[in-house]
Amino acid sequence: MKRILLLLLPLLTLTCQAQEKKNFDINKYREVILNEYAYPRFAKSADDTKLKDYALVDIDGDGKPELWVRGDESQDWQGVFSLDGDSLTLLADADACSEIEVYKNAVGYHSYISPGQVDEAYSVLKNSRVVSSADMNMKFDIFSDEQEVEYEGYSVNGKEVDEDTYNKFVQKLGDKVEVTPEWIAIE
């Protein structure tokens, strides 16, 4: 009997996830995503900001999916959020110059924000909640022959750290995981 239950567990999990996707209402989060995340970071005006589609992806394997949204063609923005009831927590976002990166139990981004500026950040999840995070920001002079670094900052869990400590955090993420979201169009 125990063996049968163990064999049925993945099927039950997939059935619950399919039901959750079917009942998911993106409109509940749409205005918050647009006004608090996409528009302030990536658009010239609120009218420029539109969502194209979304996907529910279980990044940390806890059975509760995270929300991944994308902007329309004119607004090449993406965001990954953890969901807790009606509230959202931004885990990673990206635009045309950046990339969302997924790891086992973590998500992040690597971005060339502008000529001479590089940012990256990572969120490690457990039970769909952030348990640790790290970010890096670097600015350099693109007009100098050596492209001298003007600013370099690292943090882990909100505290300033040195480059080695930051790199150890990033190394613990392991290899990137290939994720192919099942995109659902937003009307």
Given a contact cutoff of 8 angstroms between Cβ atoms, the answer to whether 95 and 38 are in contact is no
Q: What is the pLDDT of residues 88-107, one digit of tens each?
A: 999 998 876 678 999 999 99
Q: Can you give the residue range of the structural domain that contains 67?
A: 2-185
Q: What is the pLDDT of residues 122-137, one digit of tens each?
A: 999 999 999 999 999 9
Q: Please, what's the b/e burial string for 139-158 (b: 16 or more CB within 10 A of its CB; e: otherwise)? A: bbeeeeeeeeeeeeebbbee
Q: Is 40 helix (H, G, I), strand (E, B) or coil?
A: helix
Q: Shortest CA distance to 56 belongs to which of 101, 23, 86, 98?
A: 23
Q: What is the pLDDT of residues 147-170, one digit of tens each?
A: 677 889 999 999 999 999 999 999
CA 156, CA 144: separation in Å to the nearest integer? 30
Number of domains in the chain: 1
